[in-house]
Amino acid sequence: SSPRHLMSISDLTSGEFSALVRNAALRKQAVKAAQAPTSLTTALTGQTVAMMFSKRSTRTRVSTEAAVTMLGGHPMFLGKDDIQLGVNESLYDTSVVISSMTSCMVARVGPHSDVANLAKHSSVPVINALSDDFHPLQTIADFLTISEAFPSSGTGLGLNGLKVAWIGDSNNVLFDLATGCVKMGVDIAVASPKGYGIPDSMRQLITSAAQGVDSPGKLSETTVPEEAIQGADVLVTDTWISMGQESEKKKRLDAFSGYQITSELAKRGGAKDGWKFMHCLPRHAEEVADEVFYSPRSLVFPEAENRLWAAVSALEGLVVNKGRIQ
């Protein structure tokens, strides 16, 4: 039977998504308390995880390599100049060959179809490490971060009723974050300039995440940052110029002027008193001012660290437990 892959958050039921977040939290607590069970530290002994990255990465690379190491396996990093893929060999051939020798492929690509095609032909689980459309590992880390900042009193993540405001580009990071919000009962308001909003097909995918969820989060869209910020608990942004869009830099900087997250904007928009700031990183000053980015409201560094625990959780769910995520 074909293995289960992680292409985007929409591949997961809300129960599975919250299990990945919860397991990430449990692993984080156990390892920090020096109580990691042997079942964790030997889970991938003797196994190799191939990491095929056609774009730069700091967090995704380091967190994945560290996670595989923590599980006792060997992370094999294959950068775009290291293997034949794309230049001298097809995705199909590469996928069949690499999956015949490894336990998992973690791939960072441009077009989403590249990682989808790798998955289609792979005999082992494939994890999307960022494509032009999705970034599921980031979303798992982001929900771990939100659940730490807004702890619930009951069981479960208990995030129902929170509001996230995304101010900036409608991109890969947003699409999975929004899907996660819908599944977790967190409202998400998106403010993007005209022409940089959520494409129709993506909006459909995000809103369809509400199916089967008791009280799903709601997605709303505007071009006015203040409107999105009204009553928000968490303000989030990302770069305005994603990898692959470098040639649009000038045009984008113009289009996004006025979208920088500042304390003044948060105040004007009416964010909740205890509002927090998140950003997947890498960050540029144009999208968020230093006064916010380096303030006590900022969760960016715990959010980055949480990439490690998200990677551990995803590898356990997909590879160790063969897609039985619970």
213 binds ligand CP (CB under 6 A): no
Length of the chain: 326
Per DSSP, 10 falls in state G
139 lies in the binding site for ligand CP (CB under 6 A): no
The CA distances from residue 133 to 23, 158, 261, 319, in Å, are 25, 28, 24, 23
131 interacts with ligand CP by CB under 6 A: no
Under rule CB under 6 A, which residues in 240-279 are in contact with ligand NVA?
Answer: 242-243
Q: Which residues contact 289 (CB under 8 A, 6 or more apart)?
A: 260, 261, 262, 263
- Residue 238, binding choice from ligand CP, ligand NVA, none, Cβ under 5 to 8 Å by partner class: ligand NVA
Q: Would you count residue 300 as binding ligand NVA (CB under 6 A)? A: no
User: For ligand CP, which stretch binds (CB under 6 A), given 37-45, 188-196, 266-274, 276-284?
Assistant: 276-284
Q: Which stretch binds ligand NVA (CB under 6 A): 45-53, 83-91, 235-243, 299-307?
A: 235-243
Sign of CA dihedral 50, 55, 56, 57: negative
Task: Count other C-beta atoms under 10 Å from residue 101's C-beta.
Answer: 10
Instruction: Give least dist CB 32 to ligand NVA, A.
Output: 25
Interface with ligand NVA, residue 99, by CB under 6 A: no
Among 8, 18, 57, 170, binds ligand CP (CB under 6 A): 57
Query: Is residue 34 within 8 Å of 41, Cβ to Cβ?
Result: no
Which of 228, 280, 314, 320 is catalytic? The answer is: 280
Rounded to whole angstroms, the Cα distance separating 313 from 308 reads 9
Per CB under 6 A, the segment of 87-95, 187-195, 275-283, 292-300 that binds ligand CP is 275-283
- Which partner in ligand CP, ligand NVA, none is near 69 (CB below 5 to 8 A by kind)? none
Active site (annotated) includes residue 104: no
> Considering only 29-37, 89-97, 153-161, 168-176, which stretch makes contact with ligand NVA by CB under 6 A?
168-176
- Binding residue for ligand NVA (CB under 6 A) from 18, 128, 179, 239? 239
Spatial separation of the C-alpha atoms in residues 52 and 36, rounded to whole Å:
28
Restricted to residues 274-293, the positions that interact with ligand NVA (CB under 6 A) are 280
Per-position DSSP letters for 114-177, written without gaps between them: HHHHHHHH-SS-EEES--SS--HHHHHHHHHHHHHHS--SSSS---TT-EEEEES---HHHHHH
Q: Is 130 in the site for ligand CP (CB under 6 A)?
A: yes
CB of 72 to ligand CP, least distance (A): 23
CA angle 8, 230, 215 (to 5 degrees): 50
Does 145 participate in binding ligand CP (rule CB under 6 A)?
no
Smallest Cα–Cα separation from 223: which of 187, 202, 198?
A: 198
Cis before 282? omega within 30:
yes
Contact window for ligand CP (CB under 6 A) among 37-45, 57-65, 152-160, 177-185:
57-65
Alpha-carbon dihedral angle through residues 19, 25, 29, 30, given to the nearest 10 degrees: 30
Say which entry of ligand NVA, ligand CP, none residue 58 contacts (CB below 5 to 8 A, set by partner kind). ligand CP
Could you tell me the sign of the dihedral formed by the alpha carbons of 55, 62, 170, 297, in that order? negative
Q: Tell me if 59 contacts ligand CP by CB under 6 A.
A: yes
Catalog residues that contact ligand NVA under the rule CB under 6 A. Answer: 130, 171-173, 238-239, 242-243, 280
Catalog residues that contact ligand CP under the rule CB under 6 A. Answer: 57-60, 130, 138, 280-282
Residues identified as active-site: 280
